[in-house]
């Protein structure tokens, strides 16, 4: 029986702002995390991700490459960001030209277990727990469901 190739999770090549709190274990690499932000345990944040100031990322969240999150955002437990839309019916794999970016505005709250496809989300938006965001959100409000739809103004 063959032995697996083991890789260590950890923190590598991360640019931290002032007073960032990280609860380990985490897997953070090649990303930027702004001042006074919090990263919970069992979180993975990949390279080329930018997280703004005063953000809170709860446990078991996955933030893939090409995601930018504004200031004063809350990302709930188990939120999944997606950058590969399987446009050819299969994973793009290492072909990053097929990956798409996500941009989250300021003052955005994303509820637990939401899934965020490559979209743009305006400032002052609340995404309900378990929602699946498949299209851009261009105005403030509360969005929920699969696919996520606006359910009320803020």
Domains and CATH numbers, the chain: 11-86+97-152 (2.160.10.10)
Of 5-14, 16-25, 57-66, 125-134, the one with minimum mean pLDDT is 5-14
Report whether pLDDT(94) > 80. no
Mean pLDDT, the chain, whole residue set: 96
Q: Which of 42, 132, 128, 129 is nearest to 85 (CA)?
A: 132
Where do we find the tokens 């994973």? 91
Would you state the pLDDT for residue 93?
Answer: 80
Average pLDDT, stretch 111-127?
98
Average pLDDT, stretch 23-37?
98
Reduce the secondary structure of the chain to three states and give it as a string. CCCCCCCCCCEECCEECCCCEECCCCEEECCEECCCCEECCCCEECCCCEECCCCEECCCCEECCCEEECCCCEECCCCEECCCCCCCCCCCCCCHHHCCCEEECCCCEECCCCEECCCEECCCEEECCCCEECCCECCCEEEECCCCEEEECC
Of 3-7, 92-96, 143-147, the one with minimum mean pLDDT is 92-96
Percent of the residues in the chain that have a pLDDT greater than 70, as a whole number: 100
Q: What is the pLDDT of residues 59-83, one digit of tens each?
A: 999 999 999 999 999 999 999 999 9
Average pLDDT, stretch 91-115?
93
Would you state the pLDDT for residue 112?
Answer: 98
Would you state the pLDDT for residue 97?
Answer: 86
pTM, full prediction:
0.94
Percent of the residues in the chain that have a pLDDT greater than 90, as a whole number: 87
């Amino acid at each position: 029986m063959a032995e697996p190739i083991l890789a260590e999770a950890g923190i590598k090549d991360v640019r931290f702002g002032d007073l960032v709190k990280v609860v380990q274990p985490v897997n953070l690499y090649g990303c930027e995390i702004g001042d006074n932000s919090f990263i919970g345990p069992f979180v993975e944040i990949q390279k080329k991700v930018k997280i703004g100031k005063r953000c809170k990322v709860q446990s078991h969240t996955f933030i893939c490459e090409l995601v930018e999150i504004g200031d004063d955002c809350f990302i709930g437990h188990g939120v999944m960001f997606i950058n590969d839309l399987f446009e050819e019916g299969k994973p793009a794999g290492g072909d990053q030209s097929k990956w798409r970016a996500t941009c989250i505005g300021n003052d955005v709250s994303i509820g637990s277990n939401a899934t965020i496809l490559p979209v743009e989300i305006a400032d002052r938006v609340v995404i309900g727990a378990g929602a699946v965001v498949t299209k851009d959100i261009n105005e403030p409000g509360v969005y929920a469901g699969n696919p996520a739809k606006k359910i009320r103004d803020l």
